[in-house]
Amino acid sequence: MILKESKLVPADRCGVWLVKIIHVYSKFLYWGKIGHFCKISVRKTLPYNRIRKKRKCKSLYIRSIKGFLKRDGSNFSCYSNSVLLLKKRLTPLGSRVLGPINFSIKRKRARNSFIKIL
């Protein structure tokens, strides 16, 4: 679960180290779950990176600290919250996605795009 104004580490390799959540696109007013879209602002980047600080772009929330329990009894949890930065629709901004991804994401097109880049 993420809130507005929270700072997260991106899960893809695009030269961005830290982002800040500006807006969460969900039915609820202030927080989002895995699979929700977010609008972020870039806070820390590599020097001489093509993505500048204070740039705003969309992202997809893919990893959560809170454990996710499936119906079959399996559990999925991580040590940090992470988002995937997006170019257009569901195309990732970076070349690789680092770490595990929870495949409980409801959007079929999002799941298919992750399989291509892993």
CB 2 within 8 A of CB 24: yes
CATH superfamily label, 2-117:
Ribosomal protein L14/L23 (2.40.150.20)
Q: What angle do CA 51, 108, 58 make, to 5 degrees?
A: 20
If you search the block for the tokens 């993420």, which residue do you land on? 2
Those residues of the chain that have pLDDT short of 70 are 28-31, 102-118
User: What distance lies between CA 93 and its chain's CA centroid?
Assistant: 11
- Predicted TM-score (pTM) of this structure: 0.76
Residue type, 111: R
- Domain ranges across the chain: 2-117
How many CB atoms are closer than 10 A to CB 79? 8
Three-state DSSP class for 71? Answer: coil
Three-state DSSP class for 111? Answer: helix
pLDDT for residue 109: 58
pLDDT for residue 118: 44
pLDDT for residue 63: 81
pLDDT for residue 94: 79
